[in-house]
Structure 1
Amino acid sequence: MKKNKIITAITVTATVLLLAACGKSSSNNAKDLTVGASPDPQSKILKHVQPELKKEGVNLKVKVFQDYVLPNKALQSKDIDANYFQHIPFLDQWNKKNDGNIKNAGAVHLEPIAVYSKKYQSLKDLPKNATVLVSSNTPDYGRVLQIFKDAGLITLKKGTDITSANFSAIDQNKKNIKFKTGYEPKLMPQFYKNKQGDAEVINANYAVQAGLNPVKDSIAIEKSSSPYANIIAIRPDEKNNKAIKKLVKVLQSKSTQDWIKKEYHGAVLPVK
């Protein structure tokens, strides 16, 4: 009888240890995924979906970048698994300039670029020879041209591809508006607050970080039909990464897209 009790005790102990080991193994099976992102809205959106991804077995880590230069370099060098800060025209230009091969894994949201002014209430109020400050982010130039074209202030040369256009594409400039370029994108809100131009063009992420609402505070805003949606970008070797596919699926889900709409009140627009 005593021998049977010892055998039973050993069996129970072994079973408990086996179950504990299995439980530990299961918890360790979560796939780590590091995504580089701009501070807001990208990193905020990613942090919102972290709990949902945890349920899907993905341990999402967010690495915040303060500029548009380093995220693609970090992705290319495999310091991160994906990034979330850019639109396709920016990615295409970056690949061309850097002999890169980064790919689009899926669109998530649009950050409507907008024109702000402390001096005038609308684009049509801009005087002749007005100065409009624009950042050094050349892939956004077509977006700026489209806004001014929609307002009837400029026309573009025949055959202009808006996704790769620059200011030399202007055919007629009715008010001889001077577009001054070359400024760091993150400095544009400060230029606006200091009234350094008659108007300033600001990307939505930097506007939001500065406490501005592109819908309410701008004098003109990009239309939601814009082709400049922000994407999850990856290296080609990650195209079959199940964790990245889960990330994109959660980001594009109705619940996440509804949350984006509610959270940003139109300052950030969901793609679906």
Structure 2
Amino acid sequence: MLNKLLFSVFGVFLAVFFIACGVDSDSSADTKGSAKLIVGATPEPHATILSQVVPLLEKEGISLEIKEFTDYVTPNLSLEDGSLDANFFQHKPYLDSFNAEKGTKLVSVASIHLEPMGVYSKKIKSLDELKDGDVVTIPNDPSNGSRALRILEKEGIIKLSEGNLVSPQDVIQNDRNLSFKEVDAPQLTRTLDDVTISVINTNFALLANLNPLQDAIAIEDKESPYSNILVVKEGRENDENIQKLVKVLQSDTIKNYINEQYKGAIIPSF
């Protein structure tokens, strides 16, 4: 009886010792299998593209959890507070504006694709049909609102003052007396029944079953600086698992997927 008791006590001691020391015959496999990244993304196309990354990362020993967001603010705040390892939904001008406004320290680690912003309408087929006093909706965040106005300027509809970021207050020539309304980007497609035109980000257009190549009456050209980027909190740029995610996102497999899936409505930028 005493021998059994001593053996049991010794066994418990050994178990505690090995746990404390991190010794486990399967530890290398567990360590490799336990690697995980949580990435925030808007549903389309970002989460869709990330879903193609899941099996590729699994081969690298990393599991990928995709958290979907339907706004542009929460995924950055979640990245800043550590709830996310990375996010994928925005372009560099928006990130710079967000950091300046919120005091966050988020950085781009990779350029993935360009979503050409488009002008949509249920009332007209061409911008030439715009009439005096027509209403235009644009995104209400500074970077995308400025981007939308620059598209209209390039189409010869308005003229804007100089500056990196412009707003409706910077319209210096407006021959048609267009009225501009700034709206949360996810809600822009819902304004199409009430306004003449709306300038909409491609991800939200796709969610509303709008095809940029077929449905937009004007679209941003391929020289746009608004490529969508993978973003992390400052200091994690060289994290090994983040770099593996970058490598996979910028692989030929993902490039081919974007080209085949979106047929030019979204363009790889790597």
Q: Residue 80 of structure 1 corresponds to which residue in structure 2?
A: 84
Match among 149, 163, 168 for residue 160 of structure 1: 163
Distance 2:80 2:114 in 1: 24
Distance 1:66 1:153 in 2: 30
Task: Verify: 1:132 aligned to 2:130, yes or no.
Answer: no
Task: Verify: 1:61 aligned to 2:61, yes or no.
Answer: no
For 2:187, the aligned partner's letter is L
Q: Deviations over 1:45-83 (max 9, x none)?
A: 111011111112221111111211110111110011111
- Offset, 1:229: 0.9
For 2:223, the aligned partner's letter is S
Tell me, yes or no, if the aligned pair for 2:109 and 2:229 is still in contact at 8 Å.
Answer: yes
Runs of 4+ in 1 over 6 A off after TM superposition: none
Q: Residue 179 of structure 2 corresponds to which residue in structure 1?
A: 178
SS at match of 2:180: strand
Q: Deviations over 1:83-112 (max 9, x none)?
A: 111111111111111111111111111122
Q: Deviations over 1:160-204 (max 9, x none)?
A: 32xx222222221222222111x2222221222xx2101112211
1:82-231 equivalences under 5 Å are 82-157=86-161, 159-161=162-164, 164-181=165-182, 183-192=183-192, 195-231=193-229
5+ long unaligned stretches in structure 2: 1-23
- Offset, 1:263: 0.4
- Offset, 1:27: 4.9
Tell me, yes or no, if the aligned pair for 2:113 and 2:266 is still in contact at 8 Å.
Answer: yes
Q: Residue 17 of structure 2 corresponds to which residue in structure 1?
A: none
- Offset, 1:22: 5.5
Q: Deviations over 1:222-244 (max 9, x none)?
A: 11211111111111121221111
Tell me, yes or no, if the aligned pair for 1:109 and 1:271 is still in contact at 8 Å.
Answer: yes
Q: Residue 251 of structure 2 corresponds to which residue in structure 1?
A: 253
Match among 31, 35, 39 for residue 35 of structure 1: 39
Q: Deviations over 1:107-166 (max 9, x none)?
A: 111122111111111112111221111232221122112211121112222x332xx222
Q: Residue 266 of structure 2 corresponds to which residue in structure 1?
A: 268
Tell me, yes or no, if the aligned pair for 1:115 and 1:199 is still in contact at 8 Å.
Answer: yes
For 1:184, the aligned partner's letter is D
Question: What is the RMSD of the two structures over their aligned residues, measured on CA atoms?
Answer: 1.6
Paired residues, number: 246
Tell me, yes or no, if the aligned pair for 2:139 and 2:148 is still in contact at 8 Å.
Answer: no
SS at match of 1:80: coil
Q: Residue 26 of structure 1 corresponds to which residue in structure 2?
A: 29
Distance 2:134 2:210 in 1: 23
- Offset, 1:23: 5.8
TM-score normalised to structure 2 length: 0.86
- Offset, 1:24: 6.5
Identity %: 37
